[in-house]
Structure 1
Amino acid sequence: MPKQRSLVSSKKDTYKEEFVANKLVEAQINPSSSPKVRHERIVVLYTYNNAFASDNEPLGATKGHEVDITLNRDRTYPTVLRRPAYQASLRAGDALEKHIQELIQLGLLRKEGHNEEVEVTITVIIAWGNDTSRIIGDFRALNTYTVSDRYPIPRTQESLTQLYKAKYITSMDALKGFHQNVLRLKLTNYLELSLTVVFMSILEFHLVFKMHHLIIKE
């Protein structure tokens, strides 16, 4: 029995080392933390590692809230709405292809057809920050035909006041949070119109992808 327990313990240590090396490679644990505190945090993250998504795993969906889109009926919606392509640099083009392939791998995009059959095109651009890139869709034209949500956003000071008794305050960033939204069932027909993304390569060859990131709740 002692040998068996030793073997199990050895496997757990190996898995934990792989977890730290692979999944926590970008984690920012306070460097001033003592070795004991750092170890305790790693143990917690390792114990509940299934609660965190990675680039190679399903993203899941948010719970307790559904996204609703209301069209502005006072304006006539155009039958054809096309946006001109932005000129992309070599760096932006390479980053864009990488993002597109990642979204396809995660099942968030699929090839739909070619550009001539699409009524609405959304120009895709690449934004840079801290030497990392992110993909952005230009929805400004379509947003003029939707009714904006109006709800009070709590002030930062009010939120901090409510947390004055808290011992630990932790913030977490959702992995591709926009792709985890749940839409109301009645928006099914609207999706085909408003969420078509045009992928622009360096040669301006257009491929059309249909967004599958917004999950329809039955």
Structure 2
Amino acid sequence: MDLGDIHPAENSFKIMLYKARYHANRCMQNSFKYAKEQWDKSHKLPDFKVEDLVLVSTPSFNNIEGPKKLKASFEGPFMRRALHGPNAVQIELTDELMNRHPAFSLSLIKPYSSSDKDFFPLRNKTPHEIPPLEEGEEKKIVKVLKEKRTRNKKER
């Protein structure tokens, strides 16, 4: 026995359900397409090659000595040894980072740009100019600090 024989509104309900499902599917496809376009617009795959020099992000490293505030954000330069797919690289580590696993995500590395004369022969360093002092101008000391307060303690 067919349900259309039992309830006369079943056929119109099927059509309504089909249209709702079609509309929801179309909205999801448009949403996926828009999200992919936005992602592709702001993210590009880095063009690293093997043997390029890179810097490694260090905030997650626990084996670097010294206060956390004074640690450099990036350590390096290190040479890339291999690519592991589009999202991971293998790096040749040195010094205190030797105990780490050498594979890193691309989000943790950035390209190294050196200011070496060998890498950039046309770059000229301009010396910093010291502004000239006018002769005859006397320097006057405005205030001498005899004591210094540090967290409610006097130091002399």
TM-score higher than 0.5: no
Larger radius of gyration: 2
Higher relative contact order (CA 8 A, sep 6+): 1
Give me the TM-score of the superposition, normalised by structure 2: 0.23
Give me the TM-score of the superposition, normalised by structure 1: 0.18
